[in-house]
Structures are given as structure tokens and as C-alpha cells.
Structure 1
Amino acid sequence: MPIVRPTVESFNPQSPLKPPAHPPVLVDLTNHASLDAPSTQDDTPSTHFPGGSYTITLLVDVRETFGMNRLKDLLNAHAVSWEARSLPVGDFAWIARSAEGPTSAEEVVLGVIVERKRADDLASSIVDGRFMEQKGRMHKLGFRKIYLFEECGSMYNLRISYETLLQAMVNAQLIDGFDFINCSNGEQSVAYLASLTRWLHAKSRFDCAVYSDGRRPLSPTAGCNRLWGIPWTQFAAIGKKSPVLPLREQFGLHLLQIHSITGPKAEEIVNAFPTPKRLGAGPNVLGALFPRHGPHVVFMPD
């Protein structure tokens, strides 16, 4: 089967947030409880920050593997206002807060989330299931989702084939609505973040809409025109890891323990059959998924 190559956009400082190369596919979330995105039926903001009354700061996750000292030097060289903080999901985010200093207004996380992935880290996260779990938590935010894909010298000698890596990226774009930005090294990744920060600053002359209670802008590209976000407390609550994974995600992690079942394969299976019972109900499908075992594969019911 030919491998469909992803539209991995190279770093372009002039247009860091243009509309996605592929519009996200609409998925019936009634059968995908673990990807339960916020409701988009009501796009009325709860409140707003008046244009020019707030500042924007880049947040860097304290667990970022870039190397905090090196990252600090690079961001300072680009004159980026930033701070390190423990993020519940993603490696980079942006907050808006009153320019007058501490007030009763809560910090607002802008509707863009960035995850940085070196090729070797992406391969490892596909194998151990972290990639699927992270995508699910990022999806729940209802934000614009960006992967900074960073090349590395060993990207053609990984735990999985390079073709499998590409296919995972294609699935994330076409099915989940992610954007992939290709960077050759860490310096270019920081340059992209600095460019995106400047772009957001340029938009801060407009009002920043604040949404809550699951409401989001109806337009999927709203973040390209005017700024919007959600309160920090809601961002932290939505993005945190669930102590008990939904059945669909547990099933996916169990599938990854089967030899030759990679992250993309497991994801395709759980997208079509969210539970073992649903999978076991189709003997013809079992034969196609497990040709060495055919219809003799038996699953326990839910």
C-alpha cells in the first residue's frame, strides 16, 4: 500500500498560523468518549479583555526536554516574554493577563497549543501509546493544535519505520485536525515560537474573547483572525491526565502489547471498534486484522 505523505509545513515566519492544509474530518464523537471535545453549539463568550489592555506571555512546560538554560538563551535572544510553568498538556501555550498587573481577572490561555516532538521522541510515543493519549487530551481543549516536528540524525533508524512515522502524522492531520510544522533543529523551533508570539502580540490590539463552560468559537479558524481563550483553571482541568482511562483508550493500550501492532494500527482499530466486544462481533474483520489467527481470535466481552 502506498504511503500517503503528510503536509508537513516548513517553518515560515511570515504566516505561522494560516488555515490548516487539510480541514479536520468531522467525527461522530458519540462513539469516541475519550475524545469528547467541548461543545461548540454556543459561541457567545463569557467576557473579554479590551484590546490593548492585556499582555501576552509564552508559557514553557517545565518538563520540556529542550534544555531550559539553552531555551532561555534562545528565547531571550528573540526578545520573547516567557515563563516556565507546569502545563497539564502540551509543551508551549500563551496566556493573556491584564497589563495593569494582578487583578480579579483570571489568566486566560489563548486558543493555541503547541507540542514539540523530535522524530525519535515521536517514534517512542507512538510505540508506548503516549502519542494517542496526548492527542486525545489536546483535542479536548478545542484549541488550534500544532506539532513542531523536529528532525534528528537518527530519524531513519528508529524503533518504528519512517513510513509508519509519516502515516501517524497523516492520521493526526486528516483525522484529528493537527498542523505539523517541520523544523530542522531546536534553534528553528524557537524561531517559530518567537514568530508566533509576535503574531499574537500584533493581534492584542483587538479584544480577546474569553470562553467558559465548554463554549468555543464556531469557526475552526477563529484563532487566525481574533484572539480568544479560556480561563487557566479550566485549561488545567481539561488538559490534565485522567486517573482512570476510558475503555477506548485502555483497549488501545492493550492492543499495543500485541507484536506488530503499532500506534497507528491500534488507533485505526479503536476508531472502528471502540471496545473489545465491538471488535469481537465481526469475524470477517478479525480475519483481516489478524490473518495468522483468522476467526479463531477470541475476545472477552465488555
Structure 2
Amino acid sequence: MARGDLLKKLFSSFKHEDKEGFYKIANEIIEDEQKKNHGILADELRMILFNGNSMYKHTLSTIKPSVPKDADKDVSLIEVVYPDKYFADLVLPQEKKEVLESIVREFRNWDILVSNGVFPSRKILFYGPPGCGKTISAHAIACELGIPLLYVRFDAVVSSFLGETASNIRKVFDYAKNDNWVIFFDEFDAIGRSRDDLSEHGEIKRVVNTFLQQLDNFKGRSLIIAATNFERSLDYALWRRFDEILNFELPTSEEKLKLCALSIKRFKGPVQVFEQYLGEMENFSHSDIDKMCQTIMKQCILDGRRIFTKNDVEFAVRKQSAIVAMRKTSY
């Protein structure tokens, strides 16, 4: 618990609308909790206080090592993200939600589990078609835990220079060990491709071996999540390294209707109309439904309306259906 003198100063600065003083004292409280080894609490306080605040980003840069970069392209290998999605924003089968909730519960009780000789689930693999909730689920886990998401940029990690990709992977893990994160490897197949793939050059073996080594030796108090749309291309040895593996699929009809209601909730209108278009939405992913609802909302906003109509829904469904059809023919 924070010291009494700090709490008094915090309340006083709030009363006198001293914003700068308030943030300064709040940061002292966070640092005080960190010194007491209350790492998760400190991270949750940071997330609550500074989520999306530029002042926090400045503070963060002064207490953490510099962001790792690719030596050739001079671009950052990672991006620090402060998610704003919670489990309440997810529309997934109940059994998948329960697994996600279990992962969060285990992480929050890290010390209790370790003191009893077991570790929480720390390495998670998400796989399935594009746009089916893998990324938003990773964001929601980070948000529920109150810790930042360390998004690993595969386009920067993968290098055309011999040995540089493996070096970049080491840089990412070296950076991550200095704090608590949800480390998110999106497009994971870019670095986890099977070493038996005859179409790949010898460099892929070096990359996969490096990743396996870093994964096995990583001791940081973080959660590692990898996501891929091409699970069949992953190296067999990688599958055995993950504590939890979740398959994300296209939403059911019931889930599609829930997604529509959730995505359009800021606007009024005949939500029941969406049910009439389920046939046309058969191949829609979570992302497709979100884009469809974005189209409806943009039409309303541009027309100065807060109420959508059946015509708005029909236009948006058909527009997104055309996009889905083009996408299928391009694969």
C-alpha cells in the first residue's frame, strides 16, 4: 500500500487542480509499489493513469532501454501499444472466453503458482483465418492485465541479410526481459516456418532455432502470444512449446448478430434487420462485420443522423460482400 504522505499529497494536488503535481505524485506511488516488488499492481496503476497519455510515453522512455532496431533498415523492431479493449468487447464461443479468462487469472496469481512449484501459462498460440479475433483477443488480455502490449513488427524483424533476422529476434527478447509485457508476435509464420519446407533457404533453420532457444530461455515476467493465419506452415517443434493453443474460426450466425449489435451500439436503428442478411454474411469474419458497421456509421455521420435504416444496412452488407468475394478469388 502506498505511504500515507504520498496519498495526502495526491488528494491535495487533485483538490487544487494541480495536474502536473498529481501526475508526479502518482508516478512516485507507482515507483514505490515497484520497489516493494508489487510489479503487477504497479503496471496496472500505470495503465489506468497513463493509458494513451503522452506524458507517460515520455516517462516510459526515460526508465526503459532504447527500443531495439534493425541494423540495416534502422526501423523499430517493436511497438508499445496501450490497448483499450476488454473481454466485454469480444464475441467468442464461451469455451474460448473461459480459456482467455484462465490465462489472465493465472498471470495475476503468478507468485502464488510459482511458490507452489507450478508456472502460469506463459506461451500462447492463436491460429485461424484472418480477421477472426486473434489480435483483439491479445489486446484484451493486455488490457485486462493492465500491462502494455509489446507488438513485434515482423516486417522489421525479418531481414534480407544473412543472420540479421535471428539477431533481431534476440534483440526483442533482450528488450522484453526488462519489464512486464504481453509480447505479441503477429504473422508468426514469417519467423516460425517449418525447417522441413523445401522451398525455404537454409536461413529459416537459423531463425527457428534462435526463436526456440530464446523462448526456452526467456525468464521475464511476461506473457508471450503468437498468432498466425497459416498454422500448417509452422515448425513442428514450435507447437510443443506453447502452454495453450486456441483455434479462432469464423463467427456463427448468433455471434454475427452479437457483433453487429456491439459494433453499432452507439447508433439507434432496427438492429433486428441484420438477421435478414445472414445469408449474405455467411463468409464474414469478425473484421468484416466491424468494417460493415463502420460503413453504416460513416453514412449516418455524413448525413447528420444518429439513426441507421434498413437501406444503410443493405448497402453496407452488399459492399462488404463484394470485398469478401474479391478476397476469395485472389487467394
TM-score by length of 1: 0.31
Between Structure 1 and Structure 2, which shows a larger proportion of strand residues?
1
Between Structure 1 and Structure 2, which shows a larger proportion of helix residues?
2
Larger radius of gyration between Structure 1 and Structure 2: 2
TM-score by length of 2: 0.29
- The higher-RCO structure (CA 8 Å, 6+ apart) is 1
